[in-house]
Amino acid sequence: MTNDLNACEAYLPSHIYNLREEPVYRSKAVTIRRTRTVQVAIGVRRKPNPDGKPGCLRVDSVHQGDYNGKKGVYHINLVDEITQWEIILCVSAINERALEEALAIALALFPFVILNFHSDNGSEFINGLAADMLNKALVKQSKSRAGRTNDNALVEGKNGSVIRKHMGYWHIERRYAPEVQRFYLEHFNDYLNYHRPCAFATVTEDEKGRRTKKYKTYATPYERLKSLPKAKTYLKDGITFEELDKLALSRTDNEAARMMQEAKDKLFGKALKEEA
Protein backbone atom coordinates (compact mmCIF):
# COMPACT_ATOMS: atom_id res chain seq x y z
CA MET A 1 0.00 0.00 0.00
CA THR A 2 2.79 2.38 0.89
CA ASN A 3 4.53 1.71 -2.40
CA ASP A 4 1.31 2.47 -4.31
CA LEU A 5 0.92 5.82 -2.50
CA ASN A 6 4.50 6.77 -3.23
CA ALA A 7 3.97 5.90 -6.87
CA CYS A 8 0.82 8.06 -7.00
CA GLU A 9 2.57 11.01 -5.34
CA ALA A 10 5.38 10.77 -7.86
CA TYR A 11 2.88 10.60 -10.70
CA LEU A 12 0.52 13.41 -9.68
CA PRO A 13 2.75 16.44 -10.29
CA SER A 14 3.49 15.45 -13.86
CA HIS A 15 -0.16 14.49 -14.46
CA ILE A 16 -1.25 18.03 -13.65
CA TYR A 17 0.22 19.16 -16.97
CA ASN A 18 -1.93 16.58 -18.74
CA LEU A 19 -5.04 17.83 -16.96
CA ARG A 20 -4.33 21.40 -17.93
CA GLU A 21 -4.75 20.47 -21.57
CA GLU A 22 -8.33 19.32 -20.99
CA PRO A 23 -11.15 21.77 -21.93
CA VAL A 24 -12.93 21.22 -18.60
CA TYR A 25 -9.81 22.19 -16.66
CA ARG A 26 -9.28 25.29 -18.77
CA SER A 27 -12.86 26.44 -18.38
CA LYS A 28 -12.69 26.31 -14.59
CA ALA A 29 -9.09 27.31 -14.00
CA VAL A 30 -8.14 30.89 -13.10
CA THR A 31 -6.21 32.64 -15.84
CA ILE A 32 -3.44 34.93 -14.64
CA ARG A 33 -2.30 37.58 -17.09
CA ARG A 34 1.00 39.35 -17.22
CA THR A 35 1.33 42.66 -15.41
CA ARG A 36 0.25 45.49 -17.66
CA THR A 37 2.16 48.75 -17.77
CA VAL A 38 0.35 51.76 -16.37
CA GLN A 39 -0.43 54.33 -19.02
CA VAL A 40 -0.76 57.91 -17.74
CA ALA A 41 -2.08 60.30 -20.37
CA ILE A 42 -0.02 63.25 -19.07
CA GLY A 43 3.01 64.44 -20.98
CA VAL A 44 4.52 63.07 -24.16
CA ARG A 45 7.30 60.47 -24.07
CA ARG A 46 10.03 62.19 -26.06
CA LYS A 47 13.31 64.02 -25.72
CA PRO A 48 12.80 67.78 -26.13
CA ASN A 49 14.44 69.48 -29.08
CA PRO A 50 15.13 73.11 -28.11
CA ASP A 51 16.51 73.99 -31.56
CA GLY A 52 18.99 76.42 -30.02
CA LYS A 53 16.29 78.38 -28.17
CA PRO A 54 16.13 78.82 -24.39
CA GLY A 55 12.99 77.75 -22.57
CA CYS A 56 13.23 73.94 -22.57
CA LEU A 57 13.54 72.95 -18.93
CA ARG A 58 14.83 69.70 -17.45
CA VAL A 59 13.30 69.11 -14.02
CA ASP A 60 14.03 66.73 -11.14
CA SER A 61 13.67 66.47 -7.35
CA VAL A 62 16.37 65.65 -4.77
CA HIS A 63 15.54 64.25 -1.33
CA GLN A 64 17.74 65.25 1.59
CA GLY A 65 17.13 61.90 3.30
CA ASP A 66 15.37 60.49 6.37
CA TYR A 67 16.87 60.17 9.83
CA ASN A 68 15.36 58.47 12.89
CA GLY A 69 11.98 58.40 11.23
CA LYS A 70 12.06 62.12 10.40
CA LYS A 71 11.64 63.24 6.80
CA GLY A 72 14.13 65.54 5.15
CA VAL A 73 13.47 68.43 2.81
CA TYR A 74 13.12 68.11 -0.96
CA HIS A 75 14.97 70.26 -3.49
CA ILE A 76 13.28 71.02 -6.81
CA ASN A 77 15.81 71.58 -9.58
CA LEU A 78 14.94 73.19 -12.93
CA VAL A 79 17.65 73.68 -15.60
CA ASP A 80 17.34 75.22 -19.05
CA GLU A 81 18.99 73.05 -21.68
CA ILE A 82 20.53 75.77 -23.83
CA THR A 83 21.72 78.36 -21.29
CA GLN A 84 21.95 76.10 -18.20
CA TRP A 85 19.96 78.76 -16.33
CA GLU A 86 19.11 77.02 -13.07
CA ILE A 87 16.40 77.66 -10.49
CA ILE A 88 16.38 75.61 -7.28
CA LEU A 89 13.59 75.66 -4.70
CA CYS A 90 12.91 73.77 -1.48
CA VAL A 91 9.70 72.15 -0.17
CA SER A 92 8.99 70.27 3.03
CA ALA A 93 7.12 67.44 1.31
CA ILE A 94 6.48 66.02 -2.13
CA ASN A 95 2.78 66.40 -2.82
CA GLU A 96 0.74 67.97 -5.58
CA ARG A 97 -0.13 71.18 -3.73
CA ALA A 98 3.43 71.90 -2.58
CA LEU A 99 4.83 71.15 -6.04
CA GLU A 100 2.22 73.29 -7.76
CA GLU A 101 3.17 76.31 -5.65
CA ALA A 102 6.91 75.70 -6.06
CA LEU A 103 6.67 75.27 -9.83
CA ALA A 104 4.65 78.46 -10.18
CA ILE A 105 7.39 80.38 -8.34
CA ALA A 106 10.16 78.72 -10.35
CA LEU A 107 8.62 79.39 -13.77
CA ALA A 108 8.16 83.05 -12.84
CA LEU A 109 11.86 83.39 -11.92
CA PHE A 110 13.16 82.52 -15.39
CA PRO A 111 13.74 85.73 -17.41
CA PHE A 112 12.85 84.07 -20.72
CA VAL A 113 9.66 82.43 -21.99
CA ILE A 114 9.27 78.78 -21.00
CA LEU A 115 8.39 76.47 -23.89
CA ASN A 116 8.79 72.94 -22.58
CA PHE A 117 8.81 71.18 -19.21
CA HIS A 118 10.59 67.80 -19.18
CA SER A 119 10.84 65.41 -16.22
CA ASP A 120 11.09 61.72 -15.47
CA ASN A 121 7.92 59.71 -14.87
CA GLY A 122 7.63 60.46 -11.14
CA SER A 123 4.16 61.33 -9.87
CA GLU A 124 5.42 64.58 -8.31
CA PHE A 125 5.50 66.11 -11.82
CA ILE A 126 3.22 63.79 -13.78
CA ASN A 127 -0.09 64.70 -12.18
CA GLY A 128 -3.24 66.65 -12.95
CA LEU A 129 -2.42 69.81 -11.01
CA ALA A 130 0.99 70.24 -12.62
CA ALA A 131 -0.43 69.47 -16.06
CA ASP A 132 -3.22 72.05 -15.65
CA MET A 133 -0.78 74.71 -14.48
CA LEU A 134 1.53 74.10 -17.44
CA ASN A 135 -1.38 74.08 -19.89
CA LYS A 136 -2.58 77.46 -18.59
CA ALA A 137 0.95 78.82 -19.07
CA LEU A 138 1.06 77.34 -22.60
CA VAL A 139 4.03 75.16 -21.68
CA LYS A 140 4.37 71.77 -23.35
CA GLN A 141 5.02 68.84 -21.01
CA SER A 142 7.16 65.83 -21.88
CA LYS A 143 8.61 62.89 -19.94
CA SER A 144 11.56 60.55 -20.31
CA ARG A 145 11.36 57.50 -22.52
CA ALA A 146 11.79 53.98 -21.21
CA GLY A 147 15.40 52.78 -21.43
CA ARG A 148 16.73 56.21 -22.44
CA THR A 149 18.77 57.21 -19.39
CA ASN A 150 20.19 60.32 -21.06
CA ASP A 151 16.81 61.99 -21.57
CA ASN A 152 17.09 63.84 -18.25
CA ALA A 153 20.86 63.63 -17.79
CA LEU A 154 21.44 67.40 -17.69
CA VAL A 155 19.47 68.06 -14.51
CA GLU A 156 20.63 64.81 -12.91
CA GLY A 157 24.22 65.95 -13.39
CA LYS A 158 23.34 69.31 -11.83
CA ASN A 159 21.82 67.47 -8.87
CA GLY A 160 25.27 66.18 -8.03
CA SER A 161 27.53 69.03 -9.12
CA VAL A 162 25.40 71.80 -7.62
CA ILE A 163 22.87 70.62 -5.03
CA ARG A 164 24.88 67.79 -3.46
CA LYS A 165 28.09 69.79 -3.62
CA HIS A 166 26.64 72.72 -1.70
CA MET A 167 23.88 71.12 0.41
CA GLY A 168 25.66 67.82 1.07
CA TYR A 169 24.12 64.45 1.91
CA TRP A 170 23.43 65.06 5.59
CA HIS A 171 19.87 65.13 6.88
CA ILE A 172 18.01 68.46 6.88
CA GLU A 173 14.68 68.28 8.70
CA ARG A 174 11.61 69.38 6.79
CA ARG A 175 10.92 72.19 9.29
CA TYR A 176 13.95 74.00 7.80
CA ALA A 177 12.39 74.06 4.32
CA PRO A 178 11.32 77.76 4.53
CA GLU A 179 14.84 78.81 5.55
CA VAL A 180 16.47 76.76 2.79
CA GLN A 181 13.98 78.27 0.37
CA ARG A 182 14.91 81.77 1.54
CA PHE A 183 18.61 80.96 1.01
CA TYR A 184 17.90 79.83 -2.54
CA LEU A 185 15.79 82.88 -3.42
CA GLU A 186 18.01 85.53 -1.81
CA HIS A 187 21.48 84.20 -2.61
CA PHE A 188 21.97 80.84 -4.33
CA ASN A 189 19.98 81.20 -7.58
CA ASP A 190 21.51 84.59 -8.39
CA TYR A 191 24.98 83.21 -7.69
CA LEU A 192 24.40 80.25 -10.02
CA ASN A 193 23.05 82.26 -12.94
CA TYR A 194 25.08 85.48 -12.84
CA HIS A 195 28.40 84.51 -11.24
CA ARG A 196 29.13 80.77 -11.62
CA PRO A 197 30.57 79.69 -15.01
CA CYS A 198 29.27 76.54 -16.70
CA ALA A 199 30.89 74.40 -19.38
CA PHE A 200 29.19 74.30 -22.78
CA ALA A 201 29.94 71.50 -25.23
CA THR A 202 31.06 71.94 -28.81
CA VAL A 203 29.74 68.96 -30.79
CA THR A 204 31.53 67.72 -33.90
CA GLU A 205 30.52 64.87 -36.19
CA ASP A 206 32.91 62.77 -38.31
CA GLU A 207 32.28 61.13 -41.67
CA LYS A 208 30.82 58.04 -39.98
CA GLY A 209 28.28 60.05 -38.02
CA ARG A 210 30.03 59.67 -34.69
CA ARG A 211 29.53 62.71 -32.47
CA THR A 212 32.27 64.07 -30.21
CA LYS A 213 31.83 66.64 -27.44
CA LYS A 214 34.59 68.98 -26.36
CA TYR A 215 34.18 71.52 -23.59
CA LYS A 216 36.05 74.66 -24.59
CA THR A 217 33.46 77.33 -23.81
CA TYR A 218 32.89 78.52 -20.24
CA ALA A 219 30.37 81.22 -19.36
CA THR A 220 27.71 82.05 -16.82
CA PRO A 221 24.13 81.20 -17.83
CA TYR A 222 23.42 84.92 -18.14
CA GLU A 223 26.40 85.45 -20.46
CA ARG A 224 25.26 82.48 -22.51
CA LEU A 225 21.75 83.90 -22.77
CA LYS A 226 23.03 87.27 -23.99
CA SER A 227 25.27 85.62 -26.59
CA LEU A 228 22.39 83.85 -28.35
CA PRO A 229 21.26 85.23 -31.70
CA LYS A 230 18.12 87.37 -31.28
CA ALA A 231 18.48 87.01 -27.51
CA LYS A 232 16.09 89.90 -26.79
CA THR A 233 13.22 88.08 -28.48
CA TYR A 234 13.34 85.28 -25.89
CA LEU A 235 12.84 87.55 -22.87
CA LYS A 236 9.49 87.78 -21.11
CA ASP A 237 7.43 90.93 -21.53
CA GLY A 238 8.67 93.70 -19.25
CA ILE A 239 12.16 92.21 -18.81
CA THR A 240 15.15 93.88 -20.48
CA PHE A 241 18.87 93.17 -20.57
CA GLU A 242 19.49 96.61 -19.09
CA GLU A 243 17.68 95.55 -15.91
CA LEU A 244 19.41 92.17 -15.85
CA ASP A 245 22.80 93.83 -16.35
CA LYS A 246 22.24 95.90 -13.22
CA LEU A 247 21.55 92.73 -11.26
CA ALA A 248 24.58 90.92 -12.71
CA LEU A 249 26.94 93.86 -12.10
CA SER A 250 25.66 94.73 -8.63
CA ARG A 251 28.48 92.65 -7.17
CA THR A 252 31.58 90.89 -8.43
CA ASP A 253 31.78 87.11 -8.80
CA ASN A 254 33.96 86.83 -5.70
CA GLU A 255 31.62 89.02 -3.67
CA ALA A 256 28.60 86.98 -4.73
CA ALA A 257 30.39 83.73 -3.86
CA ARG A 258 31.42 85.09 -0.45
CA MET A 259 27.93 86.32 0.39
CA MET A 260 26.42 83.02 -0.72
CA GLN A 261 28.88 81.04 1.38
CA GLU A 262 28.26 83.20 4.46
CA ALA A 263 24.50 82.74 4.12
CA LYS A 264 24.94 78.99 3.70
CA ASP A 265 27.21 78.75 6.76
CA LYS A 266 24.64 80.66 8.78
CA LEU A 267 21.87 78.32 7.62
CA PHE A 268 23.86 75.17 8.37
CA GLY A 269 25.12 76.54 11.67
CA LYS A 270 21.59 77.12 12.91
CA ALA A 271 20.34 73.72 11.75
CA LEU A 272 23.28 71.81 13.25
CA LYS A 273 23.10 73.73 16.53
CA GLU A 274 19.39 73.05 17.02
CA GLU A 275 19.68 69.36 16.11
CA ALA A 276 22.63 68.91 18.50
pLDDT in tens, 176-202: 999 999 999 999 999 999 999 999 988
Mean pLDDT score of the chain: 87
Predicted local confidence at residue 273, as pLDDT = 61
Predicted local confidence at residue 208, as pLDDT = 83
Q: How confident is the model at residue 5 (pLDDT cuts 50, 70, 90)?
A: very low
Return the higher-pLDDT residue of 39 and 203.
203
Find the mean pLDDT for residues 163-167.
Answer: 95
Predicted local confidence at residue 37, as pLDDT = 53
pLDDT at 272 over 80: no
Find the mean pLDDT for residues 39-53.
Answer: 81
Sequence-distant (6+) residues with CB within 8 A of 76 are: 59, 61, 88, 89, 90, 91, 99, 102, 103, 106
Structural domains in the chain, CATH included, are: 44-275 (3.30.420.10)
pLDDT at 211 over 50: yes
pLDDT at 36 over 70: no
Predicted local confidence at residue 38, as pLDDT = 53
Helix H, strand E, coil C: the string for the chain is CHHHHHHHHHHHHHHHHHHCCCHHHHHHCCCCCCCCCCCCCCCEECCCCCCCCCCEEEEEEEECCCECCECECEEEEEEECCCCCEEEEEECCCCHHHHHHHHHHHHHHCCECCCEEEECCCCCCCCHHHHHHHHHCCCEEEECCCCCCCCCHHHHHHHHHHHHHHHCCCCCEHHHHHHHHHHHHHHHHHHHHHCCCEEEEEEEECCCCCEEEEEEEEECHHHHHHHCCCHHHHECCCCCHHHHHHHHCCCCHHHHHHHHHHHHHHHHHHHHHHHC
Return the percentage of the chain with pLDDT > 90, whole number: 55
60-75 residue pLDDT tens: 999 998 888 888 999 9
Predicted local confidence at residue 116, as pLDDT = 94
Find the mean pLDDT for residues 19-34.
Answer: 68
Name residue 72's beta-bridge partners. 173
Find the mean pLDDT for residues 71-85.
Answer: 96
Predicted local confidence at residue 234, as pLDDT = 96
Which amino acid makes up residue 45? R
Return the percentage of the chain with pLDDT > 70, whole number: 88
Return the higher-pLDDT residue of 23 and 267.
267
Phi first, then psi: what are they for 220, rounded to 5°?
Answer: -75, 160
Asked if 180 and 172 count as a contact pair (C-beta separation under 8 A), the reply is yes
Predicted local confidence at residue 49, as pLDDT = 86
Phi first, then psi: what are they for 43, rounded to 5°?
Answer: 80, 155
212-241 residue pLDDT tens: 888 989 999 999 999 999 999 999 999 999
Angstrom distances, CA of residue 172 to CA of 86, 125, 177, 187, 271: 22, 23, 8, 19, 8
